[in-house]
Structure 1
């Protein structure tokens, strides 16, 4: 009988010990750091170190996913020129040396979504299109801001052009362009995060009725949409159709008479001017080099961006 009681007591003690051990495991699990938290901690540590002279964090590693825009994109054209990805060959012809491994996005929206969904990605977009879903990195120590573009500290900028065929523009197109370049139109430009003309005169147009089409760059398109809304509030008789594609298509459509106004997020090419297009710079825009919000990369040099996009640098660890 005493033996049975002893066995029962031992079993009870063993069960309690097991339960206590289980409780301890549960507490440890609850207070442990999840893999996601570890990643965030690593990103935070890397971000804290970004104040050092090194442009890229030493904790960054892994293959780089390079994302570029399609041929014909004005943003691509400006980007490869500004960063030296485009160079002249022995014959003097300009050659785009963007790596063949680059993924291609056919619009600003797709570019943002691609970078936002890939922690290893790098891309570039219009500064005016930048939102909280991605992170713009400093270039050569300068942040991508309107003030820095105005001061010349941030040098990665390009014009937003609107072009029309000199001998065929209708009255609505002319009046709409006059509105864009007016004090009211340039105020819209500034409100949307671009650089406009602060000295523009007030709008004094004739407000003609009719329909026109505006077509081209997906970088210019978000700003153009707001300009159309503001102009139609003043001139309800204007019916303006906005067609978004790329800069080259916009210029070609304006030359061919498919649209009344073409949009380009770059300088016009000589052959486009020779075809009769007359361009107007409606705004200045920066090009933001973007990475995923969870990327430890906060800053790059111009040479590093060039090396990434030409395929010379393929792993983030090479930037340390």
Structure 2
């Protein structure tokens, strides 16, 4: 494993330094310091060269990265991959305690991009070239495969409002989101649009609407807000990125005019809110670009996230 190699190199450097110190000569001590500095630099150069050459070690520990409690992406992920168990009538999240927790899509991507042995998951619409999406059960993570049903790791993007919503800007913005123009924005950004949308007929109300919740829904919502501003310059849409649970609770208590969730709503949320599906999104299972793996089965993903598989060679077929 790379850690063992690094320890060996550092041990050799230490022995050189001790031997030099034993001579009691100031210039020798300086030489030892120079040797250590060069060895550290060479170690870093070796790491970089190994990564460039594709020297990926499957015996290394898997760095498991997950999302925070309250994340709609996490909720959908554990449900779709069966990373939960029924206990006393409740579904319990069985994600290993060894998992690193990130609080947003962007942090998840940065973490995986910076660790050759990491695995994580993000909204398919947020995927870029900084990380690699794995095939799951033989299907590539693409919008086309989500739409066809070949890629089964998908979930709805929901918005929700209080049943007695009286904010005219929020109502008009929702009408825009669900219109043909709004759904084109959804599709242009890599998500699956709602079928049967009709042309937008706005009323151009003045005022402000606060939209908040899921960090997975937030990127496409930002694009929708920008497009809506072009057809209604009288309105202001304030976007707050938190998580799905905060999106729903804040819609219920009135802090948000529109809440966003990247999962199905819970029964207690449905009792308080009116919800609409604005898009369908896939969940991409991502690894570092230097990772030699290109595909995992659903069972292998589950084994990793429950802590059953600890190193990459345990899931390499």
TM-score bracket relative to the smaller structure = 0.7 to 0.9
Q: Does 1:242 align with 2:239?
A: yes
Coordinate RMSD, CA, aligned = 1.5
Note the C-alpha offset of 1:41. 3.6
Question: Match for residue 59 of structure 2?
Answer: 61
**Is residue 72–residue 243 contact of structure 2 (8 Å, CA) maintained in 1?**
yes
Q: Which of 277, 281, 302 is equivalent to 1:306? A: 302
Q: Distance in 2 between matches of 1:151 and 1:41?
A: 37
Q: Which of 198, 202, 207 is equivalent to 1:210? A: 207
TM-score relative to the length of structure 1: 0.82
Q: Does 1:318 align with 2:314?
A: yes
Q: Does 1:225 align with 2:222?
A: yes
Q: Does 1:100 align with 2:61?
A: no
5+ long unaligned stretches in structure 2: 1-44
**Is residue 60–residue 297 contact of structure 1 (8 Å, CA) maintained in 2?**
no
Question: Match for residue 13 of structure 2?
Answer: none
**Is residue 149–residue 157 contact of structure 1 (8 Å, CA) maintained in 2?**
yes
Note the C-alpha offset of 1:38. 4.4
Note the C-alpha offset of 1:297. 1.1
Q: Does 1:287 align with 2:283?
A: yes
Q: Does 1:187 align with 2:189?
A: no
> How many residue pairs were aligned?
272
**Is residue 183–residue 198 contact of structure 1 (8 Å, CA) maintained in 2?**
no
SS of structure 2 residue aligned to 1:79: helix
Question: Match for residue 17 of structure 1?
Answer: none
Structure number with the bigger relative contact order (C-alpha 8 A, sep ≥ 6) is 1
**Is residue 304–residue 310 contact of structure 2 (8 Å, CA) maintained in 1?**
yes
Q: Does 1:265 align with 2:243?
A: no
**Is residue 54–residue 290 contact of structure 2 (8 Å, CA) maintained in 1?**
no
Q: Which of 118, 123, 129 is equivalent to 2:120? A: 123
SS of structure 2 residue aligned to 1:289: strand
SS of structure 1 residue aligned to 2:197: coil
TM-score relative to the length of structure 2: 0.83
5+ long unaligned stretches in structure 1: 1-32, 47-58
Note the C-alpha offset of 1:319. 1.1
Note the C-alpha offset of 1:99. 0.3
Q: Distance in 1 between matches of 2:217 and 2:72?
A: 9
Question: Match for residue 110 of structure 1?
Answer: 107
Q: Distance in 2 between matches of 1:75 and 1:225?
A: 18
Task: Mark the CA change 1:171 to 1:36 in structure 2 (over 3 Å): closer, same or farther.
Answer: same
Note the C-alpha offset of 1:60. 2.2
**Divergent runs of 4+, >2 A:** 33-43
Q: Distance in 2 between matches of 1:156 and 1:208?
A: 39
Higher radius of gyration, 1 or 2: 1
**Is residue 88–residue 95 contact of structure 1 (8 Å, CA) maintained in 2?**
yes
Note the C-alpha offset of 1:36. 4.0
Q: Mapping of 1:42-191 within 5 angstroms?
A: 42=54, 60-89=58-87, 91-191=88-188
Note the C-alpha offset of 1:220. 0.3
Question: Match for residue 297 of structure 1?
Answer: 293
Q: Distance in 1 between matches of 2:49 and 2:148?
A: 39
* 1:180-237 deviation per Cα after TM superposition (whole angstroms, max 9, x unaligned): 0000000000000000024310001212111110010000000000000000110011
Note the C-alpha offset of 1:87. 2.0
* 1:135-179 deviation per Cα after TM superposition (whole angstroms, max 9, x unaligned): 000000100001100111000000000000011241111110000
